[in-house]
């Protein structure tokens, strides 16, 4: 007879896969808007650019929140039992937290609901953000690979 934990394991795995899917989907949306925004250089504070910049900031924050609330909170609340997942999460979380702060700083600086008339640093900030997003994606993909793997004996 299966124990209660064994019965709950497939449910937890299905939830993990849904969380991963949501994260990848929100990440893809943010990257698509990043590409669209980067193609608008040189940046001039016109209405269309401001709308795109606002959409990008919103998507970027959604992606960041998705990663935090879908994956890291799950681990932080000790709902994850796999040693390999916990190990990789401990390794990557400091860098993820640092990149999250960069994302929030970018959003604070370029949130067009409040202000975004000074775009003189946008090209440099966007380039720096793109580099760090690439780092973040690489780190997240390491965690996703372990989360998606079939359970291994520990």
Question: Residue 97 maps to which CATH number?
Answer: 1.20.120.1370
DSSP state at residue 112? T
Domain for residue 92, yes or no?
A: yes
Residue range of the domain that includes 27: 9-148
pLDDT tens for 115-137 read 677 899 999 999 999 999 999 99
pTM for the full model?
Answer: 0.84
pLDDT tens for 33-87 read 999 999 999 998 899 999 999 999 999 999 999 887 777 777 777 778 889 988 9
Domain for residue 4, yes or no?
A: no
Domain for residue 19, yes or no?
A: yes
Count CA atoms within 13 Å of residue 17 on its CB side.
Answer: 9
Number of domains in the chain: 1
Cβ-contact 102, 60 below 8 angstroms: no
Q: Which helix (H) or strand (E) holds 18?
A: helix 4-38
């Amino acid at each position: 007879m299966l124990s209660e934990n064994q019965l709950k394991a497939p449910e937890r795995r299905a939830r993990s896969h849904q969380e991963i899917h949501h994260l990848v989907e929100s990440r893809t949306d943010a990257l698509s808007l990043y590409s669209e925004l980067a193609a608008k250089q040189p940046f001039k504070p016109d209405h269309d650019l401001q709308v795109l910049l606002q959409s990008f900031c919103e998507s970027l924050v959604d992606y960041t929140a998705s990663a935090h609330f879908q994956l890291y909170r799950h681990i932080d609340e000790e709902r994850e039992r796999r040693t390999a997942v916990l190990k990789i999460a401990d390794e990557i979380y400091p860098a993820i937290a640092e990149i999250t702060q960069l994302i929030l700083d970018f959003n604070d600086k370029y949130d067009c609901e409040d202000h975004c008339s000074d775009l003189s640093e946008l090209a440099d900030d966007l380039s720096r953000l793109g580099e760090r997003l690439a780092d973040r994606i690489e780190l997240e993909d390491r965690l996703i690979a372990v989360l998606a793997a079939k359970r291994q004996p520990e």
